[in-house]
A and B are shown apart, each in its own frame.
Chain A
Amino acid sequence: MSTNYEDRPRGGYDNDDDQDRRGSMGGRGGGRRMHRRRVCRFCIDKVDLIDFKDYRLLLNYVPERGKILPRRISGNCATHQRMLAEAIKRARNIALLPYSTD
């Protein structure tokens, strides 16, 4: 999983036009690059409850900076993203996860 999602240019979707045009002109443009199948891992695993003590799991959704990974990146469904965010915030409170790093 890419952790440095913040390195991407802001408003990346606006640039997509550009890409498409290049693609139709016969270049090797690769088309829509940000297009990945979005699947909620928690739905697949049929998770009903996300435990804040399970910091190993939560760590997957906390990139280096310590922020919560947005669901446009992780592909989580709204329900599970809500549970996840709550769990991460609780874990931060009792020092299982950092509020911020560096």
Chain B
Amino acid sequence: MDNKRQYEVVFIVDPTIDDEVTKLTESFKQIIVDQGGVVTKAETMGKRQLAYEILHKKEGTFVLMEIEGSGREIAELERRMRVNDRILRYLTVRVDPDRQRAEKLRSRRAAKQAKRAEKGAHGRRGGGVEFAESNSE
């Protein structure tokens, strides 16, 4: 089991250095690539009001990155972000287990629906019992 792991990294950059955000993001991307990871997505979510003050800042620029890799590049990235005082906050979430689970749920629901449709086509005269709505998971 040496599957690639998928991560979502969100970090908040000090909004006063707005013009440097792209440069910063680029350098982080470089770190990931150097460590053998793949950056599948990197986008700026824009400047936003923070729900609470961080380091006496009320606003921040949010950046989202999606990364695929072994986990080692995440450690390096987090270390860098911790040291950098322009990064107000970061959050890394491993997303592949949740996505897999969502995929499973979706396919199961599709199967269930197909089964129900089939049943409806054949057993019409059996009364409408099987048409009872079942919204439960």
Contacts and interface: CB of A to CB of B under 8 A. Distances in A.
The majority secondary structure among interface residues of chain A is: loop
Interface of A: 39, 43-44, 46, 48-49, 52-53, 77, 79, 90, 92-99
Contacts of A43: 135-137
B93 interface: yes
Contacts of A92: 51
Contact of A95 (B51, B136, B137): B51
B91 A90 contact: yes
A17 to B, nearest CB: 31
Interface string B38-64: 000000010010111010000010101
Nearest to B95: A49
Given A43-B135, A43-B136, A79-B137, A94 B64 contact: no
Nearest to A44: B135
Best-buried of B62, B93, B99, B101 by chain A (most CB within 10 Å): B93
Contacts of B101: 48
Interface in B70-92: 88-91
Nearest to A47: B102
Nearest to B93: A90
22 contacts: A43-B137, A44-B135, A48-B101, A48-B103, A48-B105, A49-B98, A49-B99, A52-B93, A53-B10, A79-B137, A93-B89, A94-B12, A94-B62, A94-B89, A95-B50, A95-B52, A95-B54, A95-B60, A95-B89, A96-B48, A96-B51, A99-B52
